[in-house]
Structure 1
Amino acid sequence: MTTALNTLFITVEGTRLNKEGECVVVTVQDEKKAEVPLRHLRSVVCLSRAWLTPELMESWIESGIHVSFFGVTGRFLARVEGVPGGNVLLRRQQFRAADDAARTLELARAIVIGKVSNARQFILHARRDAEPVHAAELAETANRLAIHLRALEPVSELDALRGVEGIAARDYFEAFPALLKKGGAEGFSFEGRNRRPPRDPMNALLSFGYALLLQDCAGALSGVGLDPAVGFLHEERPGRLSLALDLMEEFRAPVVDRLVFSLVNRGQVKPEDFRTEFAGAVLLRDEARKAFLVAYQTAKQAKVRHGFLEQETTWGLAPHLQALLLARTVRGELDAYPPFAVHG
């Protein structure tokens, strides 16, 4: 259980919530963990199965507090709010922002700054443990990413912003071979990003991890009432979760890429854990896929410092916090969207 941005996050299985006076009482295994005044809440996010009393639900609805429910894997299930709710108003503001070129550019710029900055921090962190032959290469990559970060500020058009983002992504992925360590990563190589379908084990791992992260981000956005399909950086297409793709950019490097290289370099994933289909697609075998899912869920429990909120959180909660910050930015409650920043 944790609170942030006037939101109560329920993370412990079997938590019981009931109303006492004007407070929400949180109990775990018959032990009272917290009392949260109703007036301090704007939303509740249940990331694990919890018991809620009808009286409490009624109070939340009457107070304009919405509650979102997620499955044990992070899949969004439902969002409950009273009528009239703020959901439709938020989405109308989201659609207006997406149709406003200036607002779209500023939101997209913040997202790309978060992506490139976190990618650079990942490279700098990897450089500390890199073999001497690769350390200089990784330092040069970090320097190029710093140059790209500075180039984002004066950009005045969305296409130009996407161009800088694309160049930064190319430079970032070009450093991946230097991140593979001798010993644990035997049998693995990286010759560039490929997808739909992935054609080698490293890209198969990245694609699977990004797919999991995308669903987490889509759920987080739905949980706060935003439309995951209407984005700012990524163009809208039928069936495409453009805003979820936007949000996940900040978390690709610190969540998925870090996990993939950790599993490969430690020998926890091996070349024989993959199969190649007739059309050339390389996929994880069933047992390896299950092992990756377990590792991914474990990685989401790791603690991390949220710089903007100045408090500790987890990688699993971070997309939910960013979704809340994005919603507040869209409403005009924040002057600018603060992307999640990893600090060295």
Structure 2
Amino acid sequence: MKKLLNTVYVTTEGASLRKDGENLVAEVDGAERARVPLHMVGSLVVFGAIFISPALIGACAAAGITLVLLDRVGRFQARIEGPVAGNVLLRRAQYRASDAPEDIVRGLVMGKVSNQRAVLMRALREYGGDLASEQRAAIAMVTKRMARILRRVALADEHIEALRGAEGEAAQLYFSVFDALVRSPDPQLRFRGRSRRPPLDPINALLSFLYTLLTHDCRSAAESLGLDPAVGFLHRDRPGRPSLALDLMEELRPVLADRLALSLINRRQLRAQDFEARDGGAVLLTEEGRKTVLTAWQERKKEERRHPFLEETAPLGLVPYLQAQLLARHLRGDLDAYPPWFWK
């Protein structure tokens, strides 16, 4: 099943990728380093200056394998894919729903805020005794305020801007205590508030990198079902922005990305030397740091959880596809509402 196939990541600059028969072959300095059958590849993501043969590009397009080009630090550059196949009736339903998206946005916001709150409550249970009293009090206060936001979103008939405001309020509360969850001995690995484009500290660099990987998976999930990844509900339409992929990502970020970032830092799999500062203040992962994160990301996606709505066990890497399927069923009228994914 295509959605379960692997994403191949290539991070070694100067590598060459070519097609040999029905295989993807990676070479470094003329020596073959890896060979993967194309039928086992779901998508190909390359970082930095890597040669890709025209024959391989054509084979990927013909086989429905998406090729994503990122720069050496993980910023998106381009996406190459074959002819787009999709259900025009589903897309028309998506466009109509985007004009009055309150019900879908309500589900997305509830899923995101609930999962952010669950991350904080899990942290209190796992190492609450190691936290200073003021840190425990601050986290407990934030979880209570987030519970009130959830009740307000669930019960009130709020306009789209009010729902977006509730999501922003919850995110501000969540990140205001995120540093207390970081248990690294390295003084450089502290979280001083969310910063993007560029990230200004190692924690933000790690979060941004993981969010890029998750966005790619969510976009692939939307496109696999024939949904338009550019037309979202929570995120406003903007040229070049995959708004629907960003929507699908929101409820999954706390569990798939934030929890993984904390695990890598707190288990000391990433240390201060795995990040580098650039001119202008940007902080980025080193090549070795990226490899560590990519390995952990692939392992994380293999972990299985029970889906609260479907009541079936599935790998975490499959959750974006399941949520995209549920969204499509709601748009078709098979479900009364979009059911968010709640982490327990």
Give 1:263's aligned amino acid: L
Does residue 1:173 correspond to 2:175, yes or no? yes
C-alpha change, 1:215 and 1:76, in structure 2 (3 Å) is farther
Displacement of 1:69 in angstroms is 4.9
Distance 1:329 1:112 in 2: 16
- Secondary structure, aligned partner of 1:129: helix
Q: Do the aligned residues in 1 keep the contact of 2:115 with 2:251 (CA within 8 Å)? A: yes
- Secondary structure, aligned partner of 2:140: helix
Q: Do the aligned residues in 1 keep the contact of 2:131 with 2:180 (CA within 8 Å)? A: no
- Secondary structure, aligned partner of 2:251: helix
Displacement of 1:142 in angstroms is 1.4
Q: Which residue of 2 aligns with 1:108?
A: 105
Distance 2:125 2:40 in 1: 37
Superposed CA deviations along residues 178-198 of structure 1, whole A, max 9, x for unmatched, are 101254x54311111010110
C-alpha change, 1:78 and 1:305, in structure 2 (3 Å) is farther
Please give the residue correspondences for 1:25-104 in structure 2 after superposition, counting only pairs within 5 Å: 48-49=40-41, 69=64, 87-99=87-99, 101=100, 104=101
Give 1:94's aligned amino acid: Q
Q: Which residue of 2 aligns with 1:254?
A: 255
- Secondary structure, aligned partner of 2:284: strand
C-alpha change, 1:220 and 1:78, in structure 2 (3 Å) is farther
Q: Do the aligned residues in 2 keep the contact of 1:79 with 1:223 (CA within 8 Å)? A: no
Distance 1:300 1:47 in 2: 20
Displacement of 1:145 in angstroms is 1.1
Greater displacement, 270-279 / 301-310: 270-279
Give 2:141's aligned amino acid: E
Superposed CA deviations along residues 220-272 of structure 1, whole A, max 9, x for unmatched, are 00000000110000000000011111000011000100000001011111111
Please give the residue correspondences for 1:297-312 in structure 2 after superposition, counting only pairs within 5 Å: 297-312=298-313
Displacement of 1:139 in angstroms is 2.1
Displacement of 1:88 in angstroms is 1.1
Distance 1:126 1:283 in 2: 26
Does residue 1:125 correspond to 2:122, yes or no? yes
Q: Do the aligned residues in 2 keep the contact of 1:69 with 1:76 (CA within 8 Å)? A: no
Displacement of 1:135 in angstroms is 3.1
Distance 1:72 1:278 in 2: 30
Q: Which runs of 4+ in 1 moved over 3 A?
A: 8-13, 46-50, 68-73, 75-81
Superposed CA deviations along residues 162-211 of structure 1, whole A, max 9, x for unmatched, are 1111110000001111101254x543111110101101100000001101
Q: Which residue of 1 aligns with 2:342?
A: 341
Q: Do the aligned residues in 1 keep the contact of 2:195 with 2:204 (CA within 8 Å)? A: yes
Distance 1:114 1:79 in 2: 33
Give 1:92's aligned amino acid: R
The alignment's C-alpha RMSD in Å is 2.5
Give 1:97's aligned amino acid: A
Q: Which runs of 5+ in 1 are unaligned?
A: 2-7, 14-45, 51-67
Percent identity reads 48
Displacement of 1:76 in angstroms is 9.3
**How many residue pairs align between the two structures?**
279
TM-score normalized by the length of structure 1: 0.75
Please give the residue correspondences for 1:1-344 in structure 2 after superposition, counting only pairs within 5 Å: 10-11=4-5, 48-49=40-41, 69=64, 87-99=87-99, 101=100, 104-130=101-127, 131-133=130-132, 134-153=135-154, 154-181=156-183, 183=185, 185-343=186-344
Q: Do the aligned residues in 2 keep the contact of 1:218 with 1:241 (CA within 8 Å)? A: yes
Distance 1:284 1:307 in 2: 35
Q: Do the aligned residues in 2 keep the contact of 1:274 with 1:284 (CA within 8 Å)? A: yes
Displacement of 1:274 in angstroms is 1.2
